[in-house]
Structure 1
């Protein structure tokens, strides 16, 4: 049975919200018949934290594919993960997983009015560009979530009130994008 590990921060963490509504991994599992889908998201984490747990939480499952969604916390003003360190950390993650198994996902945009003094889209765009660069240079798969959301008429509908975390509608959107990417990878292989 092929295995997908969804590795990330709070936008990946927790399979269900407090009301029992499915978040990311159950939605992907429903769309990928025959796949085992493992949630390896932890709220508040950066790529620095990810490197400390990648073996136990990801590699030890011998995944067929891994989604990697970090950057919202790396880019936060109080977290101090520079663009250079973020790029280095992403490259180390890809190296440990192998490019053909890695689906790098750029961080989503935020609603800036709700994220005053924490995050802004100009900075997040730079982190998103790093994800694209690492994917291109390593040969990893890539989903440009930042641009996909920014191109919508009102991407704020895909985020909850805090302007940072993905909403139920956002999880529907993201799970469709990830599922489509995985199906396109399967077609090539």
Structure 2
């Protein structure tokens, strides 16, 4: 049975029980796992993590698990913290750290890479200011997906379009953390990309 490992921050964590290594949380990871019973699915997202925090625990929470697929959704906290505290959350730092993680994965595992696009919705109003910081980071993920021939899952435009159509609060009331509907949309985007990728 092949293993799909999900890595990221609170969006991936989704309230998982960290004392239970099999806990998937109540978000998109659990929804995907229900649709892929032939895979072993692991969730190692940690709420509040910046990209640097994920890198610091990557050996334990990713490499040592010998995954066949590594799916990463990270970056919104790098943007969030750039507006609230002093840490190096620049685009150049994000690129360097993310690249380190991907290089380590390639060098130490045979895992295929799946990179998910970070996103933000314009609710509340101050989230609109975040675009100038997040957009370059989204571009970094796109470039890394191309460089490392990873599966790329675009989320930002899709979730914002859903917010326009259905109401932003129905998708992510704080612009960051998805509702059940938001997680369903993320799960569907990931699943559609993954199944088309694995059928090639």
Q: TM-score range by the shorter chain?
A: 0.7 to 0.9
The residue aligned with 1:144 is 154
Query: 2-side partners of 1:59 and 1:100: how far apart?
Result: 9
Contact 1:9 1:69 in 2 (8 A): yes
Aligned length: 183
- Select 2:186's aligned residue among 150, 174, 177: 174
The residue aligned with 1:106 is 117
1:49-128 to structure 2, matched below 5 A, reads: 49-76=53-80, 77=83, 78=85, 79-98=87-106, 101-113=112-124, 116=126, 120-128=130-138
The residue aligned with 1:44 is 48
Q: CA deviation at 1:182?
A: 1.7
The 1:147/1:57 distance shift into structure 2, 3 A limit, reads same
Contact 2:7 2:43 in 1 (8 A): yes
Structure 1: stretches of 5+ with no match in the other structure: none
**CA-based RMSD:** 2.3
Contact 1:110 1:119 in 2 (8 A): no
Structure 2: stretches of 5+ with no match in the other structure: 18-24
1:164 maps to 2:176? yes
Contact 1:28 1:175 in 2 (8 A): yes
Contact 1:106 1:143 in 2 (8 A): yes
More helix by share: 2
Q: CA deviation at 1:92?
A: 1.1
Contact 2:159 2:185 in 1 (8 A): no
Contact 2:121 2:127 in 1 (8 A): no
- After alignment, is 25-34 or 94-103 more displaced? 94-103
Give me the TM-score of the superposition, normalised by structure 1. 0.87
The residue aligned with 1:6 is 6
Q: CA deviation at 1:100?
A: 6.1
Contact 1:100 1:141 in 2 (8 A): no
Contact 2:50 2:75 in 1 (8 A): yes
Runs of 4+ in 1 over 3 A off after TM superposition: 14-17
Give me the TM-score of the superposition, normalised by structure 2. 0.82
